[in-house]
Amino acid sequence: MSDTTTWQLDPAHSTVEFAVKHMMFTTVRGRFKAFTGTIYADERNPEQSRVEVEIDAASIDTGVADRDAHLRSADFLDVENHPKIRFRSTRVTGAHKKEGDRFRIAGDLEIRGKSMPVELDATFEGLGKDPWGKQRAGFGARGEIDRHQWGLRWNQALETGGVLVGQKVKIEIEAQAVKDETKTEGALSSAGSAASTSGA
């Protein structure tokens, strides 16, 4: 019997954020406000777990309307021709059965129709039931990418040297997922079952 369980990301309690340097010395932060995701957790063999995420590129929000419009344009995300950003994991290494466990997720990140390999350092934040009896799990993930690899090369040179927009982009994800009882194959591992029973 399979021990795979299916979990759906809860956008109301999850964030997909990024940070990039502006003028070489100031950090500008933003987020994507619309996304969906599914986690296929193999309780017996965690390394067989999978993650799939789809982001609405046009939902980018840095708090400045003009800047957001530029980021949606062909200079950057080109949302008219490439409305979705996608991530599909290819490998999970490390345990993620108890709170505080650290693991690594390798996968393919697609931006502007181009897919490139990335790695995220992740942490399992815990497991428990909400007041309505639904099982929830929390995860955090961090990583850094080079935007030039996806063809996002727009920039402007500064008179003082350097460039306007940084090349490296930091990614920070806080995810809460809800167990999909209709798609569960098998039971949770003993560790997960114990946490569920205790209401942790």
Q: What pLDDT was estimated at residue 43?
A: 79
Domain range list for the chain: 4-198
Name residues whose C-beta falls within 8 Å of residue 47's C-beta, 6 or more positions apart in sequence. 91, 92, 93
Q: Is 154 helix (H, G, I), strand (E, B) or coil?
A: coil
**Residue 30 in contact with residue 18, Cβ under 8 Å?**
yes
| Cα separation, 119 vs 107, whole angstroms | 6
Residue 14, token pair as written in the block = 């999850």
Name the CATH superfamily, with its identifier, for domain 4-198.
Lipid/polyisoprenoid-binding, YceI-like (2.40.128.110)
In angstroms, rounded to a whole number, what is the distance separating the alpha carbons of residues 176 and 7? 9
Nearest C-alpha neighbor of 134 from the set 39, 46, 199: 199
CA atoms within 13 A of residue 162's CA, in its CB half-sphere: 11
Instruction: List the pLDDT tens digit at each of the 200 positions of the chain.
Output: 458 899 999 999 999 999 998 756 688 899 999 999 999 988 788 888 999 999 999 999 999 999 999 999 999 999 999 999 999 999 999 866 778 889 999 999 999 999 999 999 999 999 999 999 999 999 999 999 999 999 888 777 755 666 567 889 999 999 999 999 886 544 333 334 433 433 43
What are the residues facing 56 on neighbouring strands?
A: 84
